[in-house]
A and B are shown apart, each in its own frame.
Chain A
Amino acid sequence: MSNNGYLKILSLLILLGVLFSVPSFLSQYSLHMIILVMVFVVISTSWNILVWTHQISLGHAAFFGIGAYTAAVVYNTWQLPIYFDMVLGGVFASMGAILVGIICLRMAPWALAIATLAFAEAIKILVIMLPGLTEGAEGVAIAPLYGGGQTAKVYAYYLALGIALVTVLSAYLLKRSKLYFAFTAIHDDQEAASMLGINPTKYKVMAFTISAFFVGIVGGFYAHYISYIDPHAAFNIQISVEAQIMPLMGGLYTVAGPVLGAFILTLLGEYLRITVKTGYLIVYGFILVFLILYLPKGLMGLVAGWTRRK
C-alpha cells in the first residue's frame, strides 16, 4: 500500500475516533447540531447514489417524510421498539421509490426531476387531507427518544452516527461492487448498456430503492428525535434542495463528497438561520449557482486537482 493509502486510513481512524468521543466534550446544543449533520450525511449520501445512474430527484423530501410519518404513526399505534418502526419507515420509503421508479421508467432525466418534485407535493397533500391516519396539518407528536433529557441526547447521537456510518459504508461498498459498473454504464450510455445485457430499468429502480431506504430510515429517526412531525416540516422542499446541494458542493460521484458537503452546509445553514433569519436560503441559491457555473466537480474535484498537480 502506498503512503497515500496509509495516510487515508489514518485520517479516517482519527475522524472516527473524534466522532465517537464527541459527546464527552460537546455542549448539548453542539451535540444537537452534530446530530443534524448526521441526518444530512444520510440524505446527501443517498441522493448521490441515485446520481450514479444519472437520475435526479428533486423530491427526496418525499422519502424523508414517508419515513418520518411511518415511524410516527406505527410507533404511536403499537409502541413497538423504535428500531422496528424506523426500518419500516425505510421500507415504506423504498416502496414509494419503486412506485416512482416504475412510473418513470420511460422518462427522460428532466421529466424525472419534475415527476419527483410532483410526487413529494402529492404525498404532502395526501398527508394533509387524510387526517384520520396522519392527524392532517396539525402534525403528530411522539414520545421523546429514549425518554428525553441529556443522556438521551447522547444515545440519540450514537444512533444517528450509526445510521450515518451504515449509509456511508453501504455507499462505499456499492461503489466497489459490480453494481456500480452497471449504475454508471446506464449513466454513460443507456442503449449500449442494454445491448451489453444490463437492464437499465432494473438498475435505475434499484438505485432509487436503495437511496430512498436510507432516507426513510433517517426520516423515522428525525421524527423520534424531534418528537413531533408535521406535513410542512416532513415534506419541506428545503430537504430536497439540501439533498442536491450538499453532494454537489462536496463532489458528485464520490463517497466523501456528500459527507463533506453535509458537514459544511448543515453548520453554515444553522449559522445563517440564527444570524440572518429571513431569506437565509438566498445563500444556498448563490452557492448552487456558483458551483454549477464554476466548480461543477465540487470541493473533492478541487482536492483532486491539487493532488494531481503535485
Chain B
Amino acid sequence: MDLATFAQVIVNGVLTGGLYSLIAVGLTLIFGVMRVINFVHGETLMIGSYLTYFLFTLWGIDPFLSLPLAIFVLFSFGVAIQRFFINPVMDAPHFNQILLTFGLVLILQNLALIFFTGNYISMTTSYSAASLKLGPIRLGLARLMGFLIAIALTIFLSLALKKTEWGKSVRAVTQDREAAMLMGVNVDRVNLLAFGVGSAMGGAAGVVTSMIMYIFPLIGMLFVLKAFAIVVLGGFGSIAGAVVGSLILGLTESLVTNYLPNGSGWAEGVSFLILIVILIIRPKGLFYVE
C-alpha cells in the first residue's frame, strides 16, 4: 500500500465527511427537538443546490454569495413546512408523520423533475478545477472551501445552542419536552425555529454540494438516507455525534471506494451497512449515554 495514496484517501474522506455533517447536523437538530422523522430534509439540500446552480449560471453569482441567500430561503421554507404541515400532526402517531414527510418529498422531487428535468448538471466556477498541493496530497479548492463552510456553520450552531437563550430552550425541549413546557419555554416557537435552522443547514449543504458534485432532482433522497445513517450512528439528537458519524461515514466510503475491487459501487452501500450494524449492536446510537 502506497502511503501517499492512503493519505489522499483519508483527506478525501474527511472532506466528504464535512459535507455530510452539514446535512446530518440539521437533521439531528430537528429530530432532537420534535421527534419527527423528517424526510423533507433531503429536499432542502436539493433546493439549495438548484438555487445555487441557477444563480450562478443565469447571473454569475458566486456560490459564496448565494450561501446567505440559500440559508435565508431554506430557513423560511423550513418554518413554513413546520407551520403548515408538521404542526397539525405533531401529536399524531409517528406513522402519520413519516408518511406525511414522505408525501412532501414526492411532491418536491417531482416538481424538480418537471422544472429541471432528470438530467445530471454541474457548474464550473473559476476555482472548480483549482487545487492546493500539500506534499503528495491534492486538495480540491472547492471541496476544501465546502469543508470549511461546513465546519464554520457547525461550530456557529453549537455555540448558538450553548450560549443563546434560544439555544438553551432548544436543548431544554430536546431533553424533556413536557418539563420545558412547564418551565415556560414557548415550545411552538422553539419547534418553528429548530425546523427553520435545521432546514437552513440543509440548504447550506446544498450550496456546498452544487460546488463539488453533479446535482439531479433525486439527490435529496440519496443524501437524506446517508444523513439518517449518520444520525443513527451518532445518536439521535446529538450534534457532536452527528459530526463524528459524518467523519466515520466519509472515511469509510473513501476507503471502500479506493481499496475494494469495484469500490465505488460498494461504497454506496456503506451507509446502509453501518446503519443496520449500529441498529443491531447499539440501537440508541454509538455515543448514546443514559
* Contact call B107/A114, Cβ cutoff below 8 A: no
* Contact call B106/A282, Cβ cutoff below 8 A: yes
Q: Which of B94, B232, B272, B280 has the most CB of A within 10 A?
A: B272
Partner of B95, one of A109, A115, A289: A109
Task: Report chain B residues within 8 Å CB of A128.
Answer: 265
* Contact call A289/B113, Cβ cutoff below 8 A: no
Q: A118-B225, A122-B272, A128-B265 known; A281 and B94 CB under 8 Å? A: no
Counted as pairs of residues, one from A and one from B, with CB atoms less than 8 Å apart, the total is: 124
Quick check: is A303 within 8 A (CB to CB) of the other chain?
Answer: no
Quick check: is A306 within 8 A (CB to CB) of the other chain?
Answer: no
Partner of A279, one of B98, B99, B113, B266: B113
Quick check: is A159 within 8 A (CB to CB) of the other chain?
Answer: no
* Contact call A289/B103, Cβ cutoff below 8 A: yes
Question: Is chain B's interface secondary structure helix, strand, loop, or mixed overall?
Answer: helix
Task: Report chain B residues within 8 Å CB of A106.
Answer: 283
Partner of B269, one of A122, A244, A286, A292: A122
Partner of B111, one of A117, A282, A293: A282
Task: Report chain A residues within 8 Å CB of B262.
Answer: 129
Quick check: is B10 within 8 A (CB to CB) of the other chain?
Answer: no
Interface size on A, residues (CB 8 A): 43
Which residues of A270-310 have CB atoms within 8 Å of chain B's CB atoms? Answer: 278-282, 284-289, 292-293, 296
* Contact call A129/B37, Cβ cutoff below 8 A: no
Partner of A289, one of B85, B92, B269: B85
Which residues of B67-107 have CB atoms within 8 Å of chain A's CB atoms? Answer: 85, 88-89, 92-96, 98-100, 102-107
* Contact call A103/B106, Cβ cutoff below 8 A: no
Partner of B103, one of A109, A110, A113, A286: A286
Quick check: is A121 within 8 A (CB to CB) of the other chain?
Answer: yes
Task: Report chain A residues within 8 Å CB of B35.
Answer: 110
Count class of interface residues, chain B: 35 or more
Quick check: is B117 within 8 A (CB to CB) of the other chain?
Answer: yes
* Contact call B95/A56, Cβ cutoff below 8 A: yes
Task: Report chain A residues within 8 Å CB of B266.
Answer: 125, 129
Quick check: is A175 within 8 A (CB to CB) of the other chain?
Answer: no
Quick check: is B110 within 8 A (CB to CB) of the other chain?
Answer: yes
* Contact call B279/A103, Cβ cutoff below 8 A: yes
Instruction: Please list 20 pairs of residues, one from A and one from B, whose beta carbons are closer than 8 Å in the complex, sorted by A's number.
Output: A51-B95, A56-B94, A58-B98, A109-B94, A111-B279, A113-B98, A115-B275, A117-B225, A122-B273, A125-B266, A241-B106, A245-B99, A278-B118, A280-B110, A282-B111, A285-B106, A285-B110, A289-B104, A293-B100, A296-B92
Residues of A within 8 A of B (CB): 51, 54, 56, 58, 103-104, 106-111, 113-115, 117-119, 121-122, 125-126, 128-129, 237, 241, 244-245, 248, 278-282, 284-289, 292-293, 296
Residues of B within 8 A of A (CB): 35, 37, 85, 88-89, 92-96, 98-100, 102-111, 113-114, 117-118, 221, 225, 228-229, 232, 262, 265-266, 268-269, 271-273, 275-276, 279-280, 283
20 further contact pairs, Cβ within 8 A, besides A56-B94, A129-B262: A107-B283, A110-B94, A111-B232, A111-B279, A118-B228, A118-B272, A119-B276, A126-B269, A245-B99, A278-B113, A280-B110, A282-B106, A284-B106, A285-B106, A285-B108, A288-B100, A292-B92, A292-B100, A292-B103, A293-B100
